[in-house]
Protein backbone atom coordinates (compact mmCIF):
# COMPACT_ATOMS: atom_id res chain seq x y z
CA UNK A 1 0.00 0.00 0.00
CA UNK A 2 1.30 3.45 -0.92
CA UNK A 3 -1.00 6.10 0.56
CA UNK A 4 -1.00 9.48 -1.14
CA UNK A 5 -0.28 12.29 1.31
CA UNK A 6 -1.08 15.09 -1.16
CA UNK A 7 -0.71 16.19 -4.76
CA UNK A 8 0.97 19.30 -6.07
CA UNK A 9 0.78 20.13 -9.76
CA UNK A 10 1.56 16.80 -11.48
CA UNK A 11 3.49 15.43 -8.48
CA UNK A 12 2.25 12.77 -6.08
CA UNK A 13 3.65 12.77 -2.53
CA UNK A 14 3.30 9.40 -0.81
CA UNK A 15 4.67 6.76 1.56
CA UNK A 16 5.53 3.13 1.00
CA UNK A 17 3.88 1.15 3.77
CA UNK A 18 6.71 -1.31 4.32
CA UNK A 19 9.92 0.61 4.30
CA UNK A 20 12.42 2.09 6.73
CA UNK A 21 11.27 3.80 9.91
CA UNK A 22 13.08 7.14 9.40
CA UNK A 23 10.45 9.68 8.38
CA UNK A 24 10.51 10.49 4.68
CA UNK A 25 8.24 11.11 1.73
CA UNK A 26 8.42 9.95 -1.88
CA UNK A 27 7.50 12.12 -4.86
CA UNK A 28 6.69 10.88 -8.33
CA UNK A 29 5.45 12.19 -11.64
CA UNK A 30 5.80 11.16 -15.26
CA UNK A 31 9.18 12.95 -15.32
CA UNK A 32 10.84 11.18 -12.40
CA UNK A 33 10.91 10.30 -8.74
CA UNK A 34 12.52 11.55 -5.55
CA UNK A 35 12.78 10.73 -1.87
CA UNK A 36 13.09 13.36 0.86
CA UNK A 37 14.04 12.84 4.48
CA UNK A 38 11.83 14.96 6.71
CA UNK A 39 13.83 14.50 9.90
CA UNK A 40 15.89 15.85 11.45
CA UNK A 41 15.61 18.40 8.61
CA UNK A 42 14.19 18.25 5.10
CA UNK A 43 16.89 16.80 2.84
CA UNK A 44 16.99 15.15 -0.56
CA UNK A 45 17.78 11.46 -0.16
CA UNK A 46 17.71 10.36 -3.81
CA UNK A 47 16.18 11.23 -7.16
CA UNK A 48 16.09 10.39 -10.84
CA UNK A 49 14.61 12.11 -13.86
CA UNK A 50 13.91 15.50 -12.31
CA UNK A 51 15.81 18.62 -13.31
CA UNK A 52 17.68 20.72 -10.75
CA UNK A 53 14.92 23.31 -11.06
CA UNK A 54 12.26 20.71 -10.26
CA UNK A 55 14.24 19.46 -7.25
CA UNK A 56 14.56 23.00 -5.89
CA UNK A 57 10.81 23.46 -6.26
CA UNK A 58 10.08 20.11 -4.61
CA UNK A 59 12.35 20.91 -1.65
CA UNK A 60 10.30 24.07 -1.06
CA UNK A 61 7.03 22.13 -1.33
CA UNK A 62 8.21 19.52 1.18
CA UNK A 63 9.47 22.22 3.56
CA UNK A 64 6.15 24.07 3.31
CA UNK A 65 4.16 20.89 4.00
CA UNK A 66 6.47 19.12 6.46
CA UNK A 67 4.00 19.36 9.38
CA UNK A 68 1.22 17.81 7.28
CA UNK A 69 3.60 15.09 6.08
CA UNK A 70 4.62 14.31 9.68
CA UNK A 71 0.96 14.17 10.74
CA UNK A 72 0.11 11.83 7.85
CA UNK A 73 3.14 9.66 8.76
CA UNK A 74 1.94 9.35 12.37
CA UNK A 75 -1.61 8.54 11.28
CA UNK A 76 -0.51 5.96 8.72
CA UNK A 77 2.17 4.22 10.75
CA UNK A 78 0.55 4.72 14.15
CA UNK A 79 3.60 6.16 15.83
CA UNK A 80 4.71 9.34 17.58
Domain-embedded: residue 80: no
Assess contact for 57 and 44: CB atoms under 8 A.
no
Tens-level pLDDT at each residue, the chain (80 residues): 688 999 999 999 999 877 788 899 999 999 999 999 999 999 999 999 999 999 999 999 999 999 999 999 999 888 75
On whether residue 54 sits in a domain, the answer given is yes
Q: What is the DSSP string of 21-34?
A: SS-EEEEE-SS-EE
Beta strands in 1-80 (DSSP E): 4-8, 11-14, 24-28, 33-37, 43-48
pLDDT at residue 19, rounded to an integer: 77
What does the pLDDT read at residue 26?
Answer: 97
The range of the structural domain enclosing residue 65 comes to: 4-74
Residue 44 within a domain: yes
What is each CA distance from 47 to 9, 24, 36, 67, in whole angstroms?
18, 13, 9, 22
The answer to whether residue 64 is domain-embedded is: yes
Q: Is residue 28 part of a domain?
A: yes
Q: Number of structural domains, the chain?
A: 1
62-77 pLDDT per residue, tens: 999 999 999 999 998 8
Residue 9 lies in a domain: yes
Task: Give pTM, 2 decimals.
Answer: 0.91
User: Is 79 a member of any domain?
Assistant: no
Amino acid sequence: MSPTVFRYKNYRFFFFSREETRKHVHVSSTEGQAKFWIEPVVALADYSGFSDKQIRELVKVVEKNVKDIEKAWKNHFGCN
